Structure formats: structure tokens, C-alpha cells
Structure 1
Amino acid sequence: MEALPRLRLALVLSAVICFSLLERSSALSSQDLQIVNAERRVSFSFLICTYIISHNVSPSQFKPGIVENIGTPPASEILLAFPPTQVDHLALVKAAVTAGKRKKKSYSPLDVKPKEVFDAPNGAKYFTISLLNPLKVGESVTLEVLYTLTHSLEPFPLEISQSESQLVYYHDSAIILSPYHIKQQITFVKTPSTKVESFTRVDPTDRAGTELKYGPYEDRPPYSFSPTIIHFENNNPFAVVEELVREVEISHWGSLQITEHYTLVHAGARHKGVFSRVEYQSRPSFSGVSSFKHLLAKLPPRVHSVYYRDEIGNISSSHLRTDSRKSELEIEPRYPLFGGWKATFVIGYGLPLPDFLFESSDGMRYLNFSFGCPLAETVVDKLTIKVVLPEGSKKPYAVVPFPVEQHLETSYSYLDVVGRTVVVLEKKNVVPEHNSPFQLKSLDTQGQIPEHVLAHVARCAPITLLLNSIEQSSFKFIASPIRHDVFITLSSANNVSPMPQTSVSFVVAP
């Protein structure tokens, strides 16, 4: 199975869990909590598979008022269990306390962290959800858990011709893996089409149209697991960005320059045989139904100087739509992408710096920018963001709402003296849920003469004579709040220099 090319698929699981504290032991363990009622819904759309699990409390099944407190300690954490085969593919785990229903539903985010448990059954891996308020005996709480997996669909057959549809395997469990007792649960799986080749039956199992129903199952003990395999047709575009490098350069002249380098691949069943463009264009509904030739990049508003090119040169098959709230760039590669085919290209654009750069009263400057990939309906195997700061920036660091690897580098551009500090952020398994803002902070050096500027001035022969009589010279500083330029004017009072007055301008940024 290792030789099988795994599809980079994002799996999203939303779980609404209602836990009740039981009175079984004096020590808090998995036996102290139970899931009363669980309803899980699975749907597939492009690269996203959405699970919705609703655990609801029914008055006939559970009444908090009848549970007595016999001294069991309150529960401050809830455990999430994952099979060991899923842990390496986890891209995102979120949790929130929910209240209300439908339009009046509210969410309170919770902290989720991995937890090491050495005696876990069958090698299960855990995450802990920290509750806002400890759950006392007789109380209940409703949680919603969102987690995303990648590498979770397997194309079968592995190769298809231009006129064939794409079939995939989906592996799951009819029973939710949990360290808690589940009183009742049911699972609904909605496939993209009615063509389902086969599926595992775990009675009771029903099928109607595009929906499979597993359950209801009653009184399942902790760590119950019932594997299922569903083989179905899925011709949605499987666009995967194997590597994306985003360079964000803060210009001295009031602009933010973005350059994005893409390595794109179709991660579905590999194409076999000869490609016929005549057949592809004359029979679009039958030929190459699993291929794709259009991509949509969602860019920030007020974008300008947009270009789209590859190693050959500019690619003219693109359309840009802008308004006051968003910008959308529709691009078309030079050729349609079938399974296993790749394409490399570059997208670049400029943005107004005042829309993203802000200054605080403590002398810090904040860059607010979006993490993730601008291409819609894609998964990124490896994302690297390089933020190039102006020369002279000090103590930069990034604040990202999820774990990433970050380090500093130095780059050199035109007229740089000591080089520009580059903050590098790296993350694997990036999914659309990672498209959230992050902040990069650096210390403002406005109004100061950096030592490297004075050293550079000292290397200039005419200016050296002026620096020898620096006590008799006058300095003028003009700092722009946006461009952060510092213009140094050195004027000799005793005509030490051959010229009556010498002016030198340097660009110094915080």
C-alpha cells in the first residue's frame, strides 16, 4: 500500500459533543464521562470532506438534575482520540463551546493541545480540550470540534484514460473512536454522485441516493472501532500545491510586493494513454471529467500590478476582477491538468502598504497579513512565507494563531549595506482553514542613526573630512511615517570640505 499515490484530501470533522459527568469512581478518568447522543454527517466537496457530529441531550435519555454529586472531582479537560494512522495527517484541530441553536448559535473557542498517553489502547493518540469552566458532577457541556486530515483518499484504479471517470477509496469507521462510552450514535455519509461501487455494511446500514446511513448504534464501550471502506466516483478537481513559496517584501516607497511561486499537481488517478486535445475540446462532458484547467486566486482588495507567468514567459489566459472588498484572479495553465501532471508558475502583485502596516505607541510596527494559500479549493503540502523587512529592522517576530516553524535569514537587494532581515514561516499540510491573519512585529528605529549608516558614510572620502569635525557639523533628520526614510544632511561650518555643503541621502527603515 505504500506504493499507492495517496490523494491530498482535507478531511474536516465538526463534532458537537455533550458530555455528562458520571459517578463511578473517585478519580477522574474516561469512565467519568460519557457521550450521550452522537450524530455524524460526512460530505465530500472538491478537496474537502466535511464531518458534522452532533451530540445532543434528550430529556428522556439524560437529565442533569438526577445525577448526584458524591465527591467526584470536576473535569477540566476533554480527551479526543485518533487512530495512529491519522495523527501524522492531522492538519488542524479546533474546538469550541456552543450554546443555542441554528441562527442563535454562539461559539466560545477552546484551547486544544496534543497529549502523550503511553498506555493508550491500540496505539491511539490524544488531544486535550481545556474547558472554560470545570465540568462538575451532574453538569453537561456541548462542544464542537473541527479537525482536518490530509492524505486520506486513495484513487482506485491507480490509472485511468482520458475518457474514464475517477474512482476513490475512502476509509473510516462506522463507530466514533472515543475514550468515552457512547450511548447512541448515527453516521451519514454523502457521496458526490450516486455511483457507489461498493461499501462496507455494519448493520443497521441503509442507502438512499447519494447518502449512506450507519446506525443508530446503542451503548458502545470506549475505544470501539468498526472499519468501513467506501468505493465511489469522485470527479472533483484534486488540485494540490506540492510547494508554495510566498515572498512578502515591505518596500521603502509605500508598497507591499508579493511574489508567489507555485508547484501544482493533479493528485488523482494518473493519466494513461495519449492525450487528445481535439476530443477534450469537442466532448468536454465526457473527456477529461476529472481534469481541471481553471484556478481561482482570492487576493486582497486594492491589488495592483498583477502578473502571471512561468518559465516560458507571461501567460495571458487570466482574468482579474476587483472591487472595494475583494480581488479575484482567475488563471488558466498552459494545458489542462490530468492525474499526475504538474505545472509551475509565479503570481505577483502589489498592495498599498498603509492597508497592512500599523504603528503602536510603544514604538513597534505591526504587519497584518493573511497566512495560507490564495488558491481556492487546494491543499498545500509545504508552505513557506518569507517576509522581507526594510534594512535596519530590529527584533522581528511573528504571531501566528497555530503552530508553525519560524527562523530568520538575511537577504541583499539594491543599495543594501548590512542586508535585510527576513522572517521565514514554514508549515506542512496547509488547508483552507489556515487562511487567517497573522501579525509580524518589529522594533521601530525611526529618529535614530543606525551605526551601519555612519560606518557607510565614513567610507566616503569627502564625507570623512566632515566626520573628523563632527562636533562642528549639524545634522538634520526628516522621517516619513510611511516610507521610514531618514535623510542625513551634513554641513561643514568651517569649510573643512572642498565643497561648502555636502548632502547625502540614505534610506533607513525600522
Structure 2
Amino acid sequence: MRLSGIATAVLSFASTALCAQQGNLTTPLSSRVLLPSSFKPPQVFKNINLVHIINLERGYPRELVNVVIENTSKEPQDEYYIPFTADQIQRVGGLEVKDKKDADAGIFKVAIIEYDKESDTQFYRVRFPSPLAPKAQQTLAISYSLLSSLHPLPAAIAQQDTQYLIYSFSAYWPSAYITQKQKTEVKFGTTNVPEYTIIPGSKGGAESPEKEGTKFTYGSFGEVAAGAIEPVRVRYEFTKPLIHVSRLERDIEVSHWGGNVAFEERYTLHNRAANLSKQFSRVEWTQQQYYNPTSSAIKELRFPLKVGSQDPYFTDVIGNVSTSRFRSNKREANLEIKPRFPVFGGWNYPFRIGWNSDIKNFVRKLTGGQGYVLNVPFLEGPKQSEGLEYEHIELRVILPEGAENLKFSTTVPVSSSSISLHKTFMDTIGRTALTLRAENIVDDMRDRELVVTYDYPFAAGLRKPAVIFASLLAVFTAAWVVGNVDVGIRGKK
């Protein structure tokens, strides 16, 4: 496994080096095209067959749409529009579009169109790698998450009560184009679904949903007009926390002289689960732990780190937190932390963690020249069965002082990027820092790569020891001068 990991990293480094001269591969999601409120996507496509899958097994809904589209115009087309409401567009995360039958085609370019705010319908625009010919068909796989879309009902429960969530959606996927045939599948993590919308069958057909274990199926439905919706609401058992990270600040500091890569992550964490209807009882909580029942409180977080990680720490606003465990060997490195108190619904818990790793695990020197490649996960974070959602992420990569010609590549959708100088102890001009910002990311994207290429001249590597030598020389010189100053008091002759 280690050899395969190294081979994957080398291939990634090589591909990044080839594209370095073409600029950054990651572009912001927002487009500068401003469309009027009366805009409607040209009706140049129709959906032949559509399967809409909603996964409610985690603390956020994950939706997948497999659709066969056909170009109905007389000209080749390369733009496909996906509509969302103005409220949804603020919470859509990680939207990706692929060719389901051609894995080599990669992820299609997706952009949020800047739209007239008076309209309730907003659009993502998908650009195909090559235009779709008239009457030609293509199978798209569209996936995305909707953050902060699950709500507990009732909103407040007792400490030992079972939690129920509600989720509202449309049995018809709200496409911008006519759909000839479609169905919607809803996957729950439980069979306890006490409330759900029933849709009568058309023309004497069976009503929806059709239940099969933990899966509900709405449809199939016949031809549906563009933009049509069929409101559905489900209420189901979910006795787990709804972990929401409103802000994550992740720093990655590279030191060539120290041979080290230092990681630090600062979390502003919130549990969106049902609030407590009564005051928290520590005695009742302690009694529950003897039989370890499921709970909507956050009791612990598990961080699977890269092999070779070392020197972890865990602190909060009070100081060091001792309730943590770190296990590291040649195959794994796991950091398990327990908050200072169980985090129930409506509670916040800001904290930070950090660790170090050998630079050889992440940085390689390119053959010839003075170029280097850094390959790190864009997002690590906790790995929980209930999942996590991140509202705002700010990732900062701090390179050695004097690093230049910086370029980066990642498959994580970023909203903005910038390069600045970061000044620390014994710096002269400051270290080169790359800052990336992302919105509405879920933990499905953890461990996706961030590849950074940069030049680090030999002269820049000598800057630090030269500064240290000059500083020590200045200190000894000043001490010698002061030591030779005659401060004695003599009488007049």
C-alpha cells in the first residue's frame, strides 16, 4: 500500500508539473455574467430518463441525479443549466457533473451564474468538454449536498429522548428542461419513518412512495414540464449529532531547514441537533454511559491522520485538553479527542488541534532546476459516521521565505485564492503564503489533494542561516562594545 501511495503521489506531481506553465487549474465558482430576472435557459435539451437519489443516512442530505439528456436543437450545444431556489443556492455544496459512461472525461466545468437577486430561481451552468451534436445523447451524473437543510422536530427534546428530523424536497427533480420519465429514491438510515408525504397515482396507478426496507421510491412519473415540482416532506429517526463547522482555519507550514511540515486546524463547531428541553444533568449523563446509548450529543471526534504524523496537541479556549488519545504506527495515525463536555444540540465548541510530519512525506524536488512540489490533503478533519458539513474553510499554505512562481491545483471547488507574505520570527521579507477559501464543503471531500508547485532558489535557502549568523554577530559585537566602555568614576587630577 505504501508503494501504491508513493506511485500515486509521483503521478500527481508529474501531472501538476506539466500544467504549471498554464496557470492554476482551480478557478472560482462565480461567473461575471449577470443575467436578467426574465432569463430562461434555452430549451435545447430534454431529459430522456432521470433517476434522482436522495441519501439521508448522514447529517446532511446528499443528492445524486443520473440523467440521459438529448440535444433537441439543430446546432451543437455545450451549456446545460441546473436550477435552484435563491435559498438553496446559498447552501449547495460540492456540486460536480461527470459523464457517467466516460470516467476519463473528468469533472465538467461548473460555475454559479450571477443572477438578478429579485428572481427566486438561480442557476449553475455546466460546460461540456466538447459540444453535444444535434440528436445526440449523453448520460450525466450530477451530485451535490444541501447544507443546513435538516431540521429536528420537535426542536427541543429531553436528554434521553429520540431525535427526529424533517427534510423537504420535490418528488420531481426541478430541471430546467422537459423530462420524459423520472423517479426519486430516498435512502434513510433507519426504518423508523413515522411521517411522509403520499402522492396519489395517476390514471389509476399505484400511489407513491413504494417502500422497500430503508428505501422509499416516488414514481416513476411520466412527462413533466420544465421547472415543475411536487412537494414532499419526510420525518424520520436520526439519533446522532448534526455536526456543523461554521468556520475552519487550516494552516500548513513548510520548513525546508527544519525538514518539517506543521499542521494546525482551528474549528468553530456547532451541533444543529435538537436542543435540550431541560437543563443538562451531569448525573444523568454519567449514568447513561454505562450502557452507551445513541445520543444526539457530540461525545468524541476521530481524526485519521497521514502515516508518520507526530506531536499532536488539542486545546480549547480554556487551555490544553487532556481527554485525547493518539495511536501511531507504520500503517496508521489516529487522533481521537473528547471535548471538555458533551456538545448537545444548539451548543458550540471552538477548539484547535495540530501535529507535525516529516517533510519527505509531502514534498518532492523536481528533476532539474529549483522546483518543488507539495502534495497535501485539502481537508482532513474528523471522520464520523454521521458526517460533517463545513460552511467556510480558509486554507493557508505557508512556504519557505523566498519561494516564488507558486501555482496550485485541486479538485475541491474554491471560491477565491490569493498570494501574500506571512512574517514570522527571524524573517526578512516574509514567507510566501497561499490562501484558499471554500464554501459549503462536506466531509465526502476529505483527503482530496492540494498540489502546490513552487521554486525555491539555493540563495533563498541561505537567507535564514545568513540572518541568524548576522544577528548573532551583531549581538556579540554589541556585547564586546559595551564590555569595553569605561564606566568607572575617576577623580580630577
TM-score by length of 2: 0.76
- What does residue 353 of structure 2 align with? 347
Partner of 2:95: 93
SS at match of 2:279: coil
Aligned residue number for residue 262 of structure 2: 257
Cα deviation, 1:85-134, whole Å, max 9, x if unaligned, reads: 2111122211111228xxxx7764322223357699x6322222222332
Structure 2 Cα separation of the partners of residues 116 and 249 of structure 1: 35
Q: Which residue of 2 aligns with 1:224?
A: 228
Contact 2:98–2:107 under 8 Å retained in 1 = yes
Q: Distance in 2 between matches of 1:119 and 1:426?
A: 23
Single out whichever of 241-250 and 47-56 deviates more from structure 2: 47-56
User: Any residues of structure 2 matched to 1:142-291 within 5 Å, and which?
Assistant: 142-203=139-200, 204-208=207-211, 209-251=213-255, 252-284=257-289, 289-291=295-297
Larger Rg: 1
Q: How does 1:4-403 map to 2 (within 5 A)?
A: 30-55=42-67, 72-99=74-101, 108-115=106-113, 123-203=120-200, 204-208=207-211, 209-251=213-255, 252-284=257-289, 289-360=295-366, 361-376=368-383, 377-401=387-411, 402-403=413-414
Q: Is residue 254–residue 262 contact of structure 2 (8 Å, CA) maintained in 1? A: yes
Conservation of the 8 A alpha-carbon contact between 2:68 and 2:137: no
AA of the residue aligned to 1:93: L
Once residues 75 and 41 of structure 2 are traced to their aligned partners in structure 1, the CA distance between those partners, rounded to angstroms, is 10
**1:404 corresponds to:** 415
- The answer to whether the 8 A contact 1:45-1:192 is kept is yes
Contact 2:390 2:440 in 1 (8 A): yes
Partners in 2 of 1:458 and 1:321 — Cα distance?
Answer: 41
Task: Give CA-to-partner distance per residue, 1:20-58, whole Å, 9 cap, x none.
Answer: xxxxxxxx974332111222222212224233333369x
Partners of 2:305 and 2:380 within 8 A in 1: no
Relative to structure 1, the CA distance from residue 127 to residue 40 in structure 2 (aligned partners, 3 Å threshold; closer, same or farther) is same
Distance 1:314 1:141, change over 3 A: same
Backbone CA RMSD of aligned residues: 3.4
- Where does residue 492 of structure 1 map in the other structure? none
Out of 420, 433, 439, the residue aligned to residue 431 of structure 2 is 420
Measured after TM superposition, the shift of residue 429 of structure 1 is 1.9
CA contact (8 A) 1:372 1:430 kept: no
Between the two proteins, the alignment pairs up a number of residues equal to 423
Unaligned ranges ≥5, structure 1:
1-27, 58-63, 465-510
What is the DSSP-based 3-state SS (H/G/I as helix, E as strand, rest coil) of the residue aligned with 1:260? strand
Classify 1:144/1:255 alpha carbon distance in 2 versus 1 (closer, same or farther; 3 Å): same
The structure with the largest helix share of the pair is 2
| RCO comparison, higher one (Cα < 8 Å, 6+) | 2
**Residues 294 and 52 (structure 1), Cα distance of their counterparts in 2 relative to 1, 3 Å cut:** same
User: Percent identity among equivalent residues?
Assistant: 24
Gaps of 5+ in 2: 1-39, 201-206, 478-493
Question: Secondary structure of the residue that 2:284 maps to in structure 1?
Answer: helix
Equivalent residue of 2:179, what SS?
strand
Secondary structure at 1:183 match in 2: coil
Alignment partners' CA distance in 2, 1:287 and 1:462: 63
| TM-score, scaled to structure 1 | 0.74
